Structure 1
Amino acid sequence: MTRLAESVALVTGASSGIGNAIASTFGREGANVVLADVRRDPKLTEEESVFDRLDATDAEYTFVETDVTDEGQVENAVDTAVSEFGGLDVLVNNAGIYYQAPAEEAPMDDYDAIMDVNVRGVFLCSKHALPHLRARKGKIVNLASIYGLVGGGQSAAYCASKGAVANLTRQMALDYAEDEVNVNALAPGIIETAQNAEWRETDPVLLEDWQRRTPWPRFGTPEDVANAALFLASDESDFVTGTILSVDGGWTAQ
């Protein structure tokens, strides 16, 4: 399967969870993948390494240690894609963090960190990738969240950040439509990742609430999100831009 044959994709937060699945799927589909993350190893030791998954498909890839809040490191990641593989066709802004607290209790350090990674990171990566994407009529796939579309319990800062990602997606889609650069976002629901593993394992009340609010009879997997990202990164989505695609088992349909 080569839906991304010969394309070059930069995936942030590529070592773990959804980013790992997206990078692996893109490599399987023929893309040359630039893995950008603050760490090489996945957050959970039982998670298969993205490097092993890419090696299994004989994909071409390179890793760049990248803090998406640091403009110099972001520039370096983009430059690496261009120097290693000759250009850039797809940017996936996946890197993100989450701290849970209602507004009155949220430490400002947590708020600042969430906004830095989840919003500034998307902005910086897009800013530096866009000149190359314009040259090749490329694609941006941002990771928003259901909590960027509807409220989420005790998640004020996170909701603010993902709402910003959703509307930044819409605006960039308008700004670059004439250049034929597609800009879309995914809004995952409850996806079984390292980020929420502890809550799923130790908080039965929260788990029951998530199950009640997800009409589909299971939670999502990183591969569910990766398959949606693949569509948005491929030629099949050429007339799709400014869209926030929910991958949530029906959560936001209620």
Structure 2
Amino acid sequence: MARLADRVAVVTGASSGIGNAIATTFGREGASVVLADVRREPKLESERSVVEKLDEVDAEYTYVETDVTDERDIEAMVETAVSEFGGLDVLVNNAGIYYQYPVDETPTEAWDAIMDVNLRGLFHCCKAALPHLEESENGKVINLSSIYGLVGGGQSGAYCASKGAVSNLTRQMALDYADREVNVNALAPGIVETAQNAEWRETDEDLLEDWQRRTPWPRFGQPEDVADAALFLASDESDFVTGHVLSVDGGWTAQ
């Protein structure tokens, strides 16, 4: 039997990279999926559309144009899940952005943008979704943190701050909602080959070598590696797991 049969899931940032893979995996496992993103098509031309992938597995889905910095968009996203599919069981807060600066060179607007998407947007998505997740018999929140939410990373002050906050907010929410049986966990991906880091992988040889040196596993991650971990956290198999930040990083944070 499909592991997410009869579940309704919202995935933010669903059109590209990790979000694309999570939405596809959830649909393949029987979930009805709300694809929430500022764009319908993926950022990279080489990446297949999540819509095309979901059509192949006959999944139920709908796309909602969603900017997670806009509370009205978030409300519409949640309302769509409830009105079209009858409720909400799983929220995946995947939308995120990353700029690379040391703190003293970080433009204030870059700091604010990262916090607005990675942290404030996640907060508002949780705030809108939790009343519905509490009504579900399978309520799950899955936040996307990062290895840089567990350890420091070079020239990434704003990003590290945002993802560190996501990791600890995950633990805090797990405590608040445990008695209501809503699981709240996070994933902390390492270097995963997505559009977010494609330019650096192609143009910055020194950075690429540093990432390879710091990843003990003999390859970088793929979006599907993170999607498989998200499937576990969305399924019944994780019912006694809450407040955990699961690293999917090829051993980066084990060092």
Q: Secondary structure at the match of 2:180?
A: coil
**Structure 1 position 179, deviation (Å):** 0.3
Residue number in structure 1 paired with 2:241? 240
**Structure 1 position 198, deviation (Å):** 0.6
Residue identity opposite 2:28 in structure 1: R
Aligned ranges 1:108-187 → 2 under 5 Å = 108-137=108-137, 138-187=139-188
Alignment: residue pair count: 254
Residue number in structure 1 paired with 2:52? 52
Matched, 1:200 2:208: no
Q: Secondary structure at the match of 1:43?
A: coil
Identity, % of aligned positions: 79
Distance in 1, matches of 2:124 and 2:74, equals 7
Distance in 2, matches of 1:193 and 1:71, equals 27
Superposed CA offset, 1:103-157 (max 9, x none): 0000000000000000011100000000000011400000000000000000000
- What residue ranges of structure 2 are gaps of 5+ in the alignment? none
Matched, 1:36 2:36: yes
Distance in 2, matches of 1:134 and 1:167, equals 21
Q: Secondary structure at the match of 2:67?
A: coil
Distance in 1, matches of 2:73 and 2:19, equals 18
Superposed CA offset, 1:74-126 (max 9, x none): 00000000000000000000000000000000000000000000001110000
Residue number in structure 1 paired with 2:232? 231
| Runs of 4+ deviating beyond 6 Å | none
**TM-score normalised by length of structure 1:** 0.99
Residue number in structure 2 paired with 1:89? 89
Matched, 1:71 2:71: yes
Distance in 2, matches of 1:121 and 1:53, equals 27
Residue number in structure 1 paired with 2:21? 21
Residue identity opposite 1:68 in structure 2: V
**Structure 1 position 24, deviation (Å):** 0.3
**Structure 1 position 206, deviation (Å):** 0.6
- What residue ranges of structure 1 are gaps of 5+ in the alignment? none
**TM-score normalised by length of structure 2:** 0.99
Residue number in structure 2 paired with 1:250? 251
Distance in 1, matches of 2:168 and 2:123, equals 12
Q: Secondary structure at the match of 1:245?
A: strand
Q: Secondary structure at the match of 1:246?
A: strand
